[in-house]
Amino acid sequence: MLRILYFAWLRDQLGCPGETLPLPQGVRSVQDLIDRLRARGGAYGEIFARPELIRVAVNHSFATVDAPVAANDEIAFFPPVTGG
């Protein structure tokens, strides 16, 4: 199962900290996943239409939208970090 996590204002706006789902058919990259999430419309449509606001990690490492996605991966979407 694919695990998707949302942090900070993404989670607030989506009203959900994450979800677990089977790898959707045809999803091979982070970009494919972003396209699927955007297609849901609503808050997902708004957020995932603006990928410049979002950072992605695949299995705890920063990734770019062309990174491959496989079943059982953990994909996290979050805003640019503001720690320190």
Q: Give the residues across from 29 on adjacent strands.
A: 68
Determine if 80 is a binding residue for other proteins (CB under 8 A).
yes
Please check whether residue 72 is in contact with residue 2, taking contact to mean a CB–CB distance below 8 angstroms.
yes
Q: Which amino acid is at 25?
A: Q
Residue 5 or 43 with smaller CB distance to other proteins: 5
Determine if 19 is a binding residue for other proteins (CB under 8 A).
no
Determine if 78 is a binding residue for other proteins (CB under 8 A).
yes
Lookup result for tokens 């677990």: 20
For binding to other proteins (CB under 8 A), which residues are involved? 5, 7-9, 57, 60-62, 76, 78-84
